[in-house]
Amino acid sequence: MYRAFERHDRSYEGVFWLGVRTTGIFCRPTCRARTPKRENVEFFAAPADALHAGYRPCMKCRPLDHGRKPPPLVEKLLLAVETEPGRRHRDAELLSMGIDPSTARRQFKRYCGMTFQAYHRARRMGLALLDIRKGKTVLDSQLDQGFESGSGFRDAFTRLVGAAPSRAGDVGVLAASWIETPLGPMLALADDRGLHLLDFVDRRGLERALAALQKRLRARALPGKHRYLDQVERELREYFAGTRQAFETPVVLTGSPFQARVWNALLAIPAGATCSYAELAKRIGQPSAVRAVGRANGDNRLSIIVPCHRVIGADGALTGYGGGLARKQKLLDHEKGSDPITRPVPIS
Rg of the chain, C-alpha, whole Å: 22
Q: List the alpha helices (DSSP H) in 194-315.
A: 206-217, 227-241, 257-267, 277-283, 290-298
Q: Which of 58, 61, 112, 308 is catalytic?
A: 308
Rounded distance between C-alpha atoms, residue 190 and residue 235, angstroms: 15
Alpha helices in the chain (DSSP H): 2-7, 47-52, 72-83, 91-96, 101-112, 116-133, 138-144, 150-161, 206-217, 227-241, 257-267, 277-283, 290-298, 325-335
- The residues, any chain, with a CB within 8 Å of residue 84's CB and separated by 6 or more, are none
Residue of 27, 31, 58, 112 marked catalytic: 27
Cα gap 195→192, rounded to integer Å: 8
Integer angstrom CA distances of residue 144 from 78, 79, 86: 19, 18, 6
Cα–Cα distance measured from residue 119 to residue 126, given in angstroms and rounded to the nearest whole number: 10
Residue 40 CB neighbours (<10 A): 12
Give 200's strand partners.
186
292, 258 Cβ separation under 8 angstroms: yes
CA angle 214, 157, 153 (to 5 degrees): 150
Q: Is 27 a catalytic residue?
A: yes
Active site residue 58: no
Name every residue whose Cβ is closer than 8 Å to that of residue 341 and which is 6 or more positions away in sequence: 182, 183, 240, 330, 334
- Measured torsion, CA atoms of residues 312, 322, 188, 158, in degrees rounded to the nearest 10: -140
Q: Is 24 left (phi over 0), alpha (psi -120 to 50) or beta?
A: left
Residues recognised as catalytic: 27, 308
